[in-house]
Amino acid sequence: MSTVEPVTEHQAPVSAHREDFPILARPMNGRPLAFLDSAASAQKPACVIDAEARCYREYYANIHRGVYQLSQRSTDAYEGARKRVAELLNAPDHREVAFVRGTTEAINLVAHSFVRPQLQPGDEILITGMEHHSNIVPWQLICEETGAKLVVSPVTDTGEVDLEDFRGRLGPRTRFASIAHVSNALGTINPVAEMIAAAREADVPTLVDGAQGVPHMAVDVQALGCDFYCFSGHKLYGPSGVGALWGRFELLRGMRPYQGGGEMIRYVTFEKSDFAPPPQRFEAGTPNIAGAIALGEAVDYVRGIGLERIGAHEQALLAYATERLEAIEGLRIIGNATHKAGVISFVLDGVHPHDIGTILDQEGVAVRAGHHCAQPVMDRFGVPATVRASFGLYNSREDVDALVNALHRVKEFFG
């Protein structure tokens, strides 16, 4: 087993950054909180909380409009955050990054502004069998409206995409492919570069749902070769209600707005409106100004620690947790892909996941129990729900030990 985290002479272990997160210092039922639900939403470091508060305390005003200093400062900070997100994704141009509410809104935006106008009856949209509902339902909605068809590349028994199957489903009617970078329910890291390359060969544009990718690894949209990439700020230690969509400029430039309103126009008359160029075209109305600024701070924070280091730390925890959980009799891990991020879904013989979650909570261990907004994945593996433990940079072996000990309590309780 590898060590939990690479420690150099000058660097504290990644998990020492737990101290940066005020909420993690608060006990839960008299115990240190073992927060193992970062895949649902990550906790926030003080610097992110402070950045948002500082904006409201010191320089808040609406952006892109005021000639006064506060508005200019807010605008600079907001646009600075856009540049940080572009750097995080290695986007060639910060004008390719639009702030949105999160992954869900980004996918809906692409579905309505890019894909829907091209769809004819009988056209196809390709996804995988392990998508989050937010990468299923928007496509179903536009298929229903246009007579297009949603095609699904199924998940294997180990919880992986079958690349040959995926390739085989890219047909002459495929208009778009939308795939998760990492499955939130199984932890599988998909071979997105290969999937995108296959789609490109078939002339099919792609979107990568990076909600579970960006927090765990360095992402380079140019190396991936996708056309769109999106993520949610709240899973990247940033605020909720803000996220980002990256898209190739030449595609964004040709797209219709998703919503109409202020800020996204060049000129409006009652007869016709002329739209602003991207990204403003996709940011109708007053955005989550302080949230976007704090997301920029979160980007600096994770880059300061290093996404490779965070990823390596979580991989070591995943290996440790997998070994310890597999040793529990009656416990079955759902999703055994070769490449996984720090997400473990499991079921325990004879105990409903919700009961497990409730008892773990009493032991100070926070996990998610349910279908994880991925009901087709639950159906695929024949379970109504799972318990999911997911890791963030602040987790340590102690959190895993707390989980394992609490699971033994569950077993005692249910005999």
How far is residue 396 from each of residues 18, 36, 279, 311, 322, measured CA to CA in Å? 9, 10, 39, 13, 14
User: Which H helix or E strand runs over 177?
Assistant: strand 174-180
Task: For residues 338 and 341, give the distance between their C-alpha atoms in angstroms, rounded to a whole number.
Answer: 10
Closest CB to ligand PMP among residues 61, 218:
218
Shortest approach of ligand PMP to residue 88 CB, angstroms?
A: 16
Closest CB to ligand PMP among residues 211, 365:
211
Closest CB to ligand PMP among residues 74, 188:
188
Shortest approach of ligand PMP to residue 284 CB, angstroms?
A: 18
Residues found near ligand PMP in the complex (CB under 6 A):
102-104, 132, 134-135, 180, 184, 209, 211-212, 232, 373
Shortest approach of ligand PMP to residue 337 CB, angstroms?
A: 14
Shortest approach of ligand PMP to residue 108 CB, angstroms?
A: 9
How far is residue 183 from each of residues 20, 137, 333, 347, measured CA to CA in Å? 27, 16, 14, 17
Block residue for tokens 């709240």: 234
Closest CB to ligand PMP among residues 236, 365:
236
Q: Which of 298, 291, 252 is nearest to 275 (CA)?
A: 252
| Pair 51, 20: CB distance under 8 Å | no
Q: What is the DSSP letter of 98?
A: E
HSE value, Cβ hemisphere, 13 Å, CA-based, for 242: 26
Closest CB to ligand PMP among residues 102, 392:
102
Crossing angle of helices 307-326 and 289-305, rounded to 10°: 80
Catalytically annotated residue among 55, 143, 230, 373 = 373
Block residue for tokens 């229903």: 144
Q: Could you confirm whether 373 is annotated as catalytic?
A: yes
Shortest approach of ligand PMP to residue 298 CB, angstroms?
A: 14
Crossing angle of helices 397-413 and 307-326, rounded to 10°: 30
Catalytic (active-site) positions? 373
